[in-house]
Amino acid sequence: MSLKYDFTGKVALITGSSSGIGAATAQLFSKSGANVVVTGRNADAVAKVAKQCTDVSPKQLTALEVVGDLTNEEDCNRLIETTVQTFGKIDILVNNAGAGFLSSIDDTDYMEKFSLIMKTNLNSMVYMTHKCVPYLAKTRGNVINISSIAAKKYFYILSAYCTSKAGVDMFTKCMAAELGPKHHIRVNAILPGYVETNFTNSYELPKEIIDQSIVEMGAKYPVGRIGQSQDIANTVAYLASDTAAGFLTGTCLIADGGDIAANV
């Protein structure tokens, strides 16, 4: 039996929603009656997902398309301003935009990659939350940050990525403690395990190695498979629901198919 959520009248802004987890999340919110904002750097990809959102919306609500780079503060400001101008408010902020690069500490370009990862995975999340607080306070809304089990365990030559996600988890806890009493805003994080998306397929590895790793990881996971974008979208919807998760804040919810428990 599938759970059904009702986000009618809500406005959900999902960063990094032109593909993968973000796209699946935007579509689920649309299917559940929300007005959604689809954003990413590729205009064609944004338009494609926005159409999919409109198609599954019970009332055929038009998804808002905003093309921009979340590492650019001007683009962040434009994203928020356009959302409020269009829908009048923000109820749910999903900080999903992310990047990852394979890099060893002694690589000559390590600091360049480290800086870009921190700007994308952590700084943009902090900035978007900072700028959205006035609007979320008015709606007693909530924030869901997409972290990773990389915040909890070591991954080979992914130190920058792991560090950024550990920062996401601590930022989530700090914001929950600060924004709850002050503005009645809930803040939670989700820590996915291995999820098959364009993101996890982008580590500059040959396709055959990626395909092999999917099979091998799935066999090791206690649930018998790796994750799909919809798995994480379902978790986002749960945390966003005041009815289902109204008592949850400051939670870093692990959705990893048993990865950490089984020491995969």
| Residues noted as catalytic | 161
Q: How far is CA 110 from CA 83, 105, 123, 162, in A?
A: 36, 6, 18, 14
In this structure, what are the phi and psi dihedrals at residue 26, rounded to the nearest 5 degrees? Answer: -60, -45
**Cβ-based neighbours of 84, under 8 Å, separated by 6 or more:** 90, 135
